[in-house]
C-alpha cells in the first residue's frame, strides 16, 4: 500500500492518491476507500483496478485536516494502510483506523 500527496498551488487542497498493490489486496475484485472524507459511505469512492492487480483512487482533500479512513475489500473485509500518517483507536468494531494528515 502507498499514499502519495500532491499539494496544489492554485487551490487549498491536497490531491491524495491511495494505492493498494496486488500483494496486499488478497486477490480482491473491488476495493473502496472509505473514511471521514465521504461520511464512511462504502460506495462513493471505488478504486480503479489495473491489469497488474493493483488498485488506486485519487481524491482532493482540504488542507490542514486529519481524516480517518480504511479500505473495504470486496465489501466484506477492512484493511488499514501501512503507510498512513498515524492510527487512531475506533470503538466501533474495536479496531484502529488509518489517518491521513493534509
Cell of 40: 464512511
pLDDT of residue 94: 77
* Domains of the chain: total: 1
Cβ-contact 31, 55 below 8 angstroms: yes
pLDDT of residue 1: 83
pLDDT of residue 21: 93
Residue 72's alpha-carbon distances to 11, 23, 43, in angstroms, are 29, 16, 10
Q: Which positions ≥6 away from 27 have C-beta within 8 Å?
A: none
Domain range holding 34? 2-101
Rounded CA separation 55/8 (Å): 23
pLDDT of residue 85: 97
pLDDT of residue 26: 81
CATH code where residue 23 lies: 2.60.40.10
Partner residues linked to 100 by β-bridges? 67
pTM for this one? 0.92
pLDDT of residue 52: 93
pLDDT lower than 50: segments of the chain: none
Amino acid at each position: 500500500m502507498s499514499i502519495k500527496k500532491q499539494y496544489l498551488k492554485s487551490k487549498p487542497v491536497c490531491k491524495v492518491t491511495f494505492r493498494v498493490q496486488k500483494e496486499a489486496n488478497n486477490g480482491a475484485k473491488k476495493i473502496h476507500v472509505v473514511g471521514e472524507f465521504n461520511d464512511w459511505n462504502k460506495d462513493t469512492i471505488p478504486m480503479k483496478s489495473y491489469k497488474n492487480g493493483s488498485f488506486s483512487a485519487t481524491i482532493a482533500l482540504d488542507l490542514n485536516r486529519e481524516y480517518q479512513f480504511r479500505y473495504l475489500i470486496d465489501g466484506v473485509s477492512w484493511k488499514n494502510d501501512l503507510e498512513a500518517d498515524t492510527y487512531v483507536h475506533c470503538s466501533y468494531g474495536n479496531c484502529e483506523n488509518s489517518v491521513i494528515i493534509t
